[in-house]
Amino acid sequence: RQATTGGDHDLPYKDKHAAYVMRQQREDARRAAMQAMEESDEERAASTTGQNKRHGNDGDGDGDDDEANLLYKNAQARVAAKREAKAEAKRARLSADPNWMDPDLVEDPAGKRTINYQILKNKGLAPKRTKEQRNPRVKHRKKFVKAQKKLRSVKA
């Protein structure tokens, strides 16, 4: 009976064996990819050694420049596509409603302008107040302490 009334009997438990198998599969896939990459590097190095010697390069470079350039160009293309999609979305919003950003220009069906946040919340030009100023008890306590200091300096 006590086993069924535990606090977390309804929570799913991790299947440790499944997690182990998944981790092993990921590790095997990573190893295979690394091995394939090493083999392709060796093949590329073997095929380019003749070219490098002709052009005065002795082949001591790592040969990762092509891959790095490709990765860099792919990253640039992704960023450019994302930027273009964002600009297109903005153009679509503007073409649908040219006054979507300015609530003062949007008119009510009755012909009146809509009100803005400051008017709605009646903010006015009230200055910002510190936490102590918003609490009257603390405010007066600080005022009293300040007066006590002045009084001590006069008596001394």
Condensed to tens digits (0 to 9), the pLDDT of residues 33-88 reads 888 888 887 777 777 665 555 555 555 555 678 888 888 999 999 999 999 999 99
Q: According to the model, what pLDDT value does residue 112 have?
A: 76
Which residues are CB-contacts of 33 (< 8 A; sequence separation ≥ 6)?
none
For residue 65 the two structure tokens come to: 């420049």
- Maximum Cα–Cα distance across the chain: 98
Question: Is residue 27 a contact partner of residue 13, using CB atoms and an 8 Å limit?
Answer: no
pLDDT of residue 125 exceeding 80, the answer is no
Looking at the chain, the whole-number percentage of residues with pLDDT higher than 70 is: 72
Q: How far apart are CA 120 and CA 19, in angstroms?
A: 56
Helix (H/G/I), strand (E/B), else coil: 59: coil
Element (H, E) at 30: helix 16-54
Q: According to the model, what pLDDT value does residue 2 have?
A: 53
Q: According to the model, what pLDDT value does residue 139 have?
A: 96
With a threshold of 0.85, does the pTM exceed it?
A: no
For residue 25 the two structure tokens come to: 């599969």
Res. 152 pLDDT band, cuts 50 70 90: very high
